[in-house]
Amino acid sequence: MSREPVRVVAAVVEADGKFLLAKRPANKSQGGFWEFPGGKVEPEEAAQTALARELAEELGARNVEVGDLVGVAEHDYGARVVRIEAYWVKCELTSLRCLEHDEIGWFRTVEFNALPLAPADVFLAELVGQASG
């Protein structure tokens, strides 16, 4: 039986050599894990539009500019398969605040391995490390 992957977008936001990560709420799926912020793409929605919408909803992001694709991967969580598309993103950094996550933080790539990353985001951490290093 083939399962259709849930399409998800993620933002790679960099400032001064550090990258924005968000800690998932404890009461949600993958709670307590850190992730590159983003969310589900609605049917008929463009990935870039979904990413700008999700960042506004979850982080209050303003002036979001979605750039080039960083990479795409799928992760099987058992109950569902997630297809994650990650994009470089620029936005008004002073607008960012925690609206749906337990916390947000800025981390250097060398710090990624010490964080409990959501399994679907591990590939992203590796790609970002390669692209920035």
Cα–Cα distance measured from residue 120 to residue 9, given in angstroms and rounded to the nearest whole number:
11
Q: Which residues partner with 31 through β-bridges?
A: none
**What is the number of other CB atoms lying within 10 angstroms of the CB of residue 10?**
22
Where residue 10 sits, what CATH number does that domain have?
Answer: 3.90.79.10
Query: Distance between alpha carbon 75 and the CA centroid of its chain, in Å?
Result: 14
Q: Is residue 95 part of a domain?
A: yes
- State which H helix or E strand residue 117 sits in: none
Q: Which helix (H) or strand (E) holds 101?
A: none
Q: For 50, phi and psi rounded to 5 degrees?
A: -60, -40
What totals of helices (H) and strands (E) does the chain contain, helices first? Answer: 2, 8
Give the span between the Cα atoms of 13 and 36, in whole angstroms. 8
Neighbouring C-beta atoms of residue 17, cutoff 10 Å? 10
- Structurally, how many domains does the chain consist of? 1
Confirm whether 58 is domain-assigned: yes
Tell whether 99 is covered by a domain: yes
Residue 21 lies in a domain: yes
- Three-state SS for 121? helix
Task: Look at residue 41 and tell me if it is in a domain.
Answer: yes
Local confidence pLDDT in tens for the 133 residues of the chain: 457 899 999 999 999 999 999 999 888 877 889 999 999 999 999 999 999 999 999 999 999 999 999 999 888 888 889 999 999 999 999 999 999 999 999 999 999 989 999 988 988 898 888 877 6
What DSSP element (H or E) covers 32? none
Let me know if residue 30 belongs to a domain.
Answer: yes
Q: Which two tokens stand for residue 19?
A: 């990258």
| Residue 71 counted as domain residue | yes
Structural domain containing residue 14: 6-132
Whether residue 1 lies inside any domain: the answer is no
Task: Please tell me the pTM assigned to this model.
Answer: 0.91
